[in-house]
Amino acid sequence: MPKTFDVAVIGAGPGGYVAAIRAAQLGLKTVCIDAWKNPAGKPSLGGTCLNVGCIPSKALLESSENYERALHKFADHGIGLKGVSIDVPKMQARKTKIVNTFTTGIALLFKKNRVESLHGFGRFAGAAPDGGWQVEVTGDGPSETIVARNVIVATGSVPRQLPGVAIDNALVCDNVGALSFDSVPRRLGIIGAGVIGVEMGSVWKRLGAEVTILEAMPTFLAAADEQIAKEAFRAFTGPLGLIIHTGAKVLSVTTGEKSVLVEYEEREGTRHRDEFDRLVVAIGRTPNTAGLNAESVGVKLDGRGYVEVDAQCRTSMPGIYAIGDAVRGPMLAHKSSEEGVAVAETIAGHHGHVNLDTIPWVVYTAPEIAWVGKTEQELKAAGVAYRAGQFPFIASGRARALGETAGFVKMLADAETDRILGVHIIGPFASELISEAVVALEFSATAEDIARIVHAHPSLSEAMHEAALGVHKRSLHI
Ligand code: FAD
Ligand code: NAD
């Protein structure tokens, strides 16, 4: 007899493991199936986010930022340092330790919440004779088929491939290789000036590489507010020193013994050949739904491989749900987790819901970038009348004390109702500051509401307060 469950979750990334924990908390008998193995060949929970995404990239960003501070910023504080150096293997070991703490932590959380954890690749094996769905799990040993009344597909995403370019994660890398260099490349090429491109570019540039980013689109960080993207472009190509070619068409990538030759054409038709010690391809991600056998049980995928779902993450088949990077919406860990919670609650008979309009975005560069809600260009395109308030960090006492004065907070509010429609930040700790704006949007706050709330002094949050005052042209400090 196969083991039976109320819920089987396929995938233990931030979508799947959170869904499994929440389902178990709600009293549902739950199994979580995951195929990931770490470089040591051991099963490792946490998916892309913990193993080769959010967590390791933030660890390296922090290390490289500290290195840069020590080299270039401490002197301003009167701190003199001699012989500053970077030990890349040690920095990587710190990153790996952080990753392992969290991946093993999920195994403990599963134990605590009585989630059964199965290592192996899950695929649909048809409807079960007595209701529910059969899922075959193929791991290191003989395969096993389990039966679940509900299945949550949380299989995440994989890097989009550039046709004709083979990833070896030695010379030509995706995110996996880009996070694991054992030394600082002299010349690093990156294809794609998206979030991974600018975050990984920042890490290796700060550590001493010459970094060239080739971006196909004429613009840069297309999802961000245009004014923020322009400010970011100035900061990344100015003080940070990234070389960014927008409107660049990659013509060929040739891997040699120790270097990679990239041929590309710029907008005006000029051809270039650049040789790099390493190349990172970061041109987006695609849903990881191949081999799942989803269509054989009637689950519809769209033309790009995303599982088709409604607002509650229900697929075309009863009892089968899909969440996270495998479905529509932004590919962000917190979006995956929130969908996981919502689906577990729906299965348990509650009213799970995720508001895709209030998902915050963060780019962990220096300055950081964060936003929630509509951009100015979106409001213009939709013909919405709005008012904007803006406050620069250079006028913030706390930002001055930190020595991080680049950037600003911009608030967009409906011209008639004053309801906040979007908040865009470029500057220090934007990742933390954005939470106030998310709460404001969730509670349909007006700019006036934020303007009337007391913000601590001196704090970076005063910039949010002043931007709200600015919506009504009554900022106090500019
Ligand atoms: P995943 O995390 O991809 O997990 C899916 C899991 O399912 C994997 O373990 C996979 O092995 C497993 N799996 C797939 N198919 C099967 C199968 N058939 N059977 C068994 N197991 C299967 N997002 C942020 O919000 N903030 C960040 O700072 C951030 N930084 C990032 C940095 C990088 C370099 C990258 C690449 C991504 C980053 N992201 C970030 C995006 C974030 O990692 C993803 O949005 C998030 O991991 C998606 O979660 P998920 O649970 O949907 O899928
Ligand atoms: P992305 O979608 O952010 O950026 C990809 C970039 O590559 C785009 O600017 C695109 O125009 C460009 N591009 C596409 N094809 C190209 C080509 N042939 N030549 C040159 N440029 C090309 O994707 P990403 O940077 O690979 O990251 C994938 C996803 O991971 C992101 O969408 C994001 O959701 C997630 N992520 C999030 C964070 C974060 O939240 N801080 C960090 C890293 C990754």
Atom of ligand 2 nearest to the CA of 159: 26
Return all residues near 271 (Cβ < 8 A) that are at least 6 apart.
251, 263, 264, 265
CA 173 / ligand 1 centre spacing (Å):
17
Q: What is the pLDDT of residue 8?
A: 98
Q: What is the pLDDT of residue 211?
A: 98
pLDDT in tens, 321-367: 999 999 999 999 999 999 999 999 999 999 999 999 999 999 999 99
Most ligand 2 atoms within 8 A of CB, residue of 54, 172, 195 to mutate:
195
The angle at the Cα of 57, spanning 53 to 60, to the nearest 5 degrees, equals 155
Q: What is the pLDDT of residue 247?
A: 96
* Location of structure tokens 């290592």: 119
pLDDT band at 267 (very low <50, low <70, confident <90, very high): confident
pLDDT in tens, 355-413: 999 999 999 999 999 999 999 999 999 999 999 999 999 999 999 999 999 999 999 99
Q: What string of DSSP letters covers 79-105?
A: ----S----HHHHHHHHHHHHHHHHHH
244 compared with 268, residue with greater pLDDT:
244
Pairing, β 386-392 against β 243-245: unpaired
Whether 363 is in the pocket of ligand 2, judged by its Cβ within 6 Å, is: yes
- Does the pTM surpass 0.75? The reply is yes
Phi and psi at residue 374, in whole multiples of 5°? -80, 145
Q: What is the pLDDT of residue 126?
A: 97
Per DSSP, helices labelled H in 1-53 are: 16-25, 47-52
Q: Which residues are catalytic?
A: 457
Closest ligand to C-alpha of residue 53 is 1
3-state secondary structure string, 212-270? EEECCCCCCCCCCCHHHHHHHHHHHHCCCCCEEECCCEEEEEEECCCCEEEEEECCCCC
Whether 315 is in the pocket of ligand 1, judged by its Cβ within 6 Å, is: no
DSSP state of 308: P
Closest ligand to C-alpha of residue 31 is 1
CA 248 / ligand 2 centre spacing (Å):
15
Most ligand 1 atoms within 8 A of CB, residue of 10, 33, 54 to mutate:
54
pLDDT band at 269 (very low <50, low <70, confident <90, very high): confident
Return the half-sphere exposure (C-beta side, CA atoms, 13 A cut-off) of residue 56: 27
Q: What is the pLDDT of residue 290?
A: 93
Whether 218 is in the pocket of ligand 2, judged by its Cβ within 6 Å, is: no
* The pLDDT of residue 150 is above 90: yes
Alpha carbons 36 and 48: distance in angstroms, whole number: 9
Pairing, β 121-127 against β 4-10: unpaired
CA 198 / ligand 2 centre spacing (Å):
9
Q: Cα 279 vs. chain centroid, distance in angstroms?
A: 21
Question: What is the token pair recorded at 288?
Answer: 């990881």
Whether 195 is in the pocket of ligand 2, judged by its Cβ within 6 Å, is: yes
Q: What is the pLDDT of residue 268?
A: 81
- Looking at residues 18-26, what average pLDDT do you find? 98
pLDDT in tens, 67-81: 999 999 999 999 999
Whether 194 is in the pocket of ligand 1, judged by its Cβ within 6 Å, is: no
Number of other residues whose CB lies within 10 A of the CB of residue 71? 15
Dihedral of CA atoms 65, 66, 72, 75 in degrees, nearest 10, equals: 150
Q: What is the pLDDT of residue 307?
A: 98
CA 56 / ligand 1 centre spacing (Å):
13
- Looking at residues 263-292, what average pLDDT do you find? 95
CA 195 / ligand 1 centre spacing (Å):
15
Residue nearest to atom 9 of ligand 1 (CA): 47
CA 398 / ligand 1 centre spacing (Å):
35
Q: What is the pLDDT of residue 48?
A: 98
Return all residues near 393 (Cβ < 8 A) that are at least 6 apart.
399, 404, 405, 406, 407, 408, 409, 427, 428, 460, 463
Most ligand 2 atoms within 8 A of CB, residue of 283, 334, 356, 364 to mutate:
283
149 in helix, strand or coil? strand
- Looking at residues 189-211, what average pLDDT do you find? 98
Whether 334 is in the pocket of ligand 1, judged by its Cβ within 6 Å, is: yes
Average pLDDT, the chain: 97
**pLDDT > 70 in the chain, percent:** 100
pLDDT band at 56 (very low <50, low <70, confident <90, very high): very high
Closest ligand to C-alpha of residue 176 is 1
Number of other residues whose CB lies within 10 A of the CB of residue 283? 21
